[in-house]
Amino acid sequence: MIVRRLFQLFFLLLGGTIGYYFLPWLLDVLEPWIHLSHISFQEYIGAAVGGLLFLVGIILLSDMFERAYRRAEERLIKVHVSDLLFATLGLIVGLFVAFLLSLPLQQVPVLNMFLPIFVSLLLGYLGFTVGYKKKDELIQFFSLSRLKEKGQKADLNLSVEENASFKLLDTSVIIDGRIADVVETGFMEGILIVPEFVLEELQHIADSSDMLKRNRGRRGLDILKRIQSGKHVQVRIVDQDFDDIHEVDSKLMKLAKEMSAKIVTNDFNLNKVCELQGIPVLNINDLANAVKPIVLPGEELVVQVIKDGKEHGQGVAYLDDGTMIVVEGGKDFIGDQIGVTVTSVLQTSAGRMVFAKPKLLEKAL
């Protein structure tokens, strides 16, 4: 309702202003044919007539304007705040340039009435568009500037395009070890960034009194050394830290925002939090699930049933890539290698599950 009233008030004032200046001019033009120039208060009559005409018009079109406003409002709400910020900055820059250009344009005869307005609209829209579409490059530019101020840009020697491929490694993906195989195959490109607080966490795990944790930590350090000695990617250690943040994952997300980098992880919870904050994530588990062989319903497989399942009568088997197969009625075949027919495939966040039934049961039916 407020929006509708604002539209009506605006067009009332607009019509009144146009009528105030337009009616006296129109009467002067028509004076040779219609002698009405003697009428008093021409400006005020024109303002009243213009205001009423525009008010009637906007009342008839209020619903259309309000729907357009609501659609624009909904679209702006969905836009990420960083996109909106850079688009607004681009708009301000465009309008500032238009203002500088309007000063000499006002000296141009005839065109000085509408040319500055046209230039302002054109450059304002151009600045808005450039700011919105070049947000990532601007963020990377300012991120590189901060790195250079802190003395970390000297040993990177990269162009802006190459810095678009910064990837932050978290502790879990280093300990997991599969990242080294992915790097050596050439599927991982760009610069791998390892913050010092991640190294400190690895060292803390490697010095743990728990033998399992100690082995995991040492494995992570070995994996990191293996990646660093390879020739496929560059590995850089950055000493940027955030003393006001205690959790390593939170530090990693803040650093990713500042460097406009992606986070490489296999931590499910970190992945979800990054998605909520709009931080790009490369999940090794998602990659592993994506490259697993596709199994379709109706296919026949030969598997070895290893254990019983959660439901009554179920057996569990595994493919060579680790995909779990739930065999209906497979409990009686534990320890045996049997032929099964795939009935359905379920893709979950934890991986792919395949449901099947023994071929022996099909023949019996």
Q: Does 294 fall in a domain? A: no
Give pLDDT, residue 17: 82
Q: Are 311 and 280 contained in the same domain?
A: no
- pLDDT category of residue 3 using cuts at 50, 70 and 90: low
Host domain of residue 96: 80-133
Rounded (5°) CA angle 89-91-93: 70
Q: Are 241 and 310 contained in the same domain?
A: no
Residue 68 has pLDDT above 70, yes or no: yes
Mean pLDDT of 301-330: 85
Last residue of a domain, one of 62, 78, 94: 78
Mean pLDDT of 284-308: 82
β-pair type (281-283, 300-308):
unpaired
Please state which of the ranges 4-18, 121-135, 277-291 shows the lowest mean pLDDT.
4-18
Q: Are 208 and 284 contained in the same domain?
A: yes
Q: Are 179 and 264 contained in the same domain?
A: yes
Q: Are 216 and 106 contained in the same domain?
A: no
- pLDDT category of residue 157 using cuts at 50, 70 and 90: very low
Out of 107-116, 258-267, 289-298, give the one with best mean pLDDT.
Answer: 258-267
Q: Does 144 fall in a domain? A: no
Q: Are 255 and 178 contained in the same domain?
A: yes
Last residue of a domain, one of 231, 259, 289: 289
**pLDDT 10s digits, 213-251:** 888 888 888 888 888 887 777 888 888 778 778 888 888
Give pLDDT, residue 136: 61
Mean pLDDT of 246-264: 86
DSSP-assigned states of every residue in 310-355: SSTT-EEEE-TT--EEEETT-GGGTT-EEEEEEEEEEEETTEEEEE
In Å, what is the CA distance from 114 to each residue of 23, 105, 118? 20, 10, 6
Total number of domains in the chain? 4
Higher-pLDDT residue of 11, 177 = 177
Residue 143 has pLDDT above 50, yes or no: no
The overall average pLDDT reported for the chain is 77
Q: Are 356 and 310 contained in the same domain?
A: yes
Last residue of a domain, one of 78, 96, 125: 78
Q: Quote the tokens at residue 208.
A: 């743990």
State the amino acid at position 195 in one-letter form.
Answer: P
**pLDDT 10s digits, 5-42:** 776 677 777 777 877 767 666 666 666 666 555 566 66
Q: Are 238 and 260 contained in the same domain?
A: yes
Residue 145 has pLDDT above 60, yes or no: no
